[in-house]
């Protein structure tokens, strides 16, 4: 892990299965900070662009395997943020499964919260993190949240959500997501409703802020 003297920011990694409550925890942390101090970077913004694949083939892609993400770009942009620079973050279209032409201009921020199902999987990213958390939530709760999100926000049908969960989400969770828990500094049961764990994270972040 880089020393505080080498960085202009702090990186918090929040991993965990789909629907575990990672985003809720990230927002609860940000609520306690000044608006210009922190930013949430979602791993899903860095899905590889599938525009070269016919549209009818894209739905068959395994979006839960590590190979689905552009790790090189993600790590490069995280390093830029940590050095006090601004990035042009890709914008991913979850309905068309490709990157849009526009980008999100982000930075600089003192605190970068990186969240995603496999955020603790990549050794290079882990080496940049000052805090590594894994959110653990029962499978049935996660599935219900996944169904609600994909139907409301990503234009999926109930049948397609269940098919994807059975054929890629659950197998990849068991193979890659769950094992990444071993790299966490803190495991957070019950997601964002675990106020004690969230407060502990806030306290640790406050102490790290004094060092930069």
Strand partners, 42: 115
Task: Write the pLDDT tens digit of every residue in 143-184.
Answer: 899 899 889 888 888 998 898 899 999 999 999 999 999 999
- 212, 9 Cβ separation under 8 angstroms: yes
What's the whole-number mean pLDDT along residues 194-207? 88
d(CA 37, CA 111): 6
Alpha-carbon distances, residue 54 vs 57, 78, 201 (angstroms): 5, 31, 43
d(CA 198, CA 26): 9
pTM: 0.88
Contact of 77 with 71, CB cutoff 8 Å = no
Q: What is the mean pLDDT of the chain?
A: 89
Residue range(s) defining the domain that contains residue 75? 4-202
In the chain, what is the greatest distance between 2 CA atoms, to the nearest angstrom?
Answer: 51
pLDDT category of residue 206 using cuts at 50, 70 and 90: confident
- Stretch 81-86: mean pLDDT, rounded? 94
Residue 208 lies in a domain: no
Is residue 207 in a domain? no
Looking at the predicted structure, is the pLDDT value of residue 102 above 90? Answer: yes
Number of folded domains that form the chain: 1
pLDDT tens by residue, 5-40: 467 889 999 999 998 999 999 998 888 776 578 999
Lowest-confidence region among 57-61, 109-113, 167-171? 57-61
- Report the percentage of the chain scoring pLDDT > 90: 54
Q: How far apart are CA 106 and CA 89, in angstroms?
A: 7
Angle at which helix 195-209 crosses helix 22-31, to 10 degrees, equals 50
Whether 211 shows a pLDDT value over 80: the answer reads no
**Is 10 part of a structural domain of the chain?**
yes
Say which residue, 66 or 195, is predicted with more confidence. Answer: 66
CATH for 120: 3.40.50.300
d(CA 26, CA 135): 11
Q: What is the pLDDT of residue 34?
A: 63
209's enclosing H/E stretch is helix 195-209
209 part of a folded domain: no
Count CA atoms closer than 13 A to 163's CA, side-chain side: 9
Which run of H or of E encompasses 188?
Answer: strand 186-189
Reported confidence tier of residue 52, pLDDT bands at 50, 70, 90: confident
In this prediction, what percent of the chain has a pLDDT beyond 70? 96
Query: Residue 32: its pLDDT value, please?
Result: 75
Which residue did the predictor score with more confidence, 118 or 211?
Answer: 118
From CA 33, how far away is CA 9, in angstroms rounded? 14
User: Is 179 inside any structural domain?
Assistant: yes
């Amino acid at each position: 892990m880089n020393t505080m003297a080498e960085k202009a920011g702090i990186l918090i990694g929040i991993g965990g299965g789909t629907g575990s409550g990672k985003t809720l925890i990230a927002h609860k942390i940000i609520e306690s900070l000044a608006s210009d101090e922190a930013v949430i970077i979602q791993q899903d913004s860095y899905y590889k662009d599938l525009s070269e694949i016919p549209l009818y083939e894209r739905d068959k892609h395994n979006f839960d395997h590590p190979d689905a993400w552009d790790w090189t770009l993600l790590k490069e942009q995280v390093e830029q943020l940590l050095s006090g620079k601004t990035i042009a973050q890709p914008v991913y279209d979850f309905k068309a499964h490709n990157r849009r032409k526009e980008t999100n201009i982000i930075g600089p921020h003192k605190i970068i919260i990186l969240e995603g199902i496999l955020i603790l999987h990549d050794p290079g990213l882990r080496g940049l993190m000052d805090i590594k958390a894994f959110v653990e939530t029962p499978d049935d709760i996660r599935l219900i949240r996944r169904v609600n999100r994909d139907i409301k926000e990503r234009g999926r049908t109930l049948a397609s959500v269940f098919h994807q969960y059975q054929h890629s989400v659950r197998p990849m969770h068991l193979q890659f997501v769950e094992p990444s828990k071993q790299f966490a500094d803190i495991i957070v049961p019950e997601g964002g409703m675990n106020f004690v764990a969230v407060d502990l994270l806030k306290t640790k972040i406050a102490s790290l802020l004094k060092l930069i």
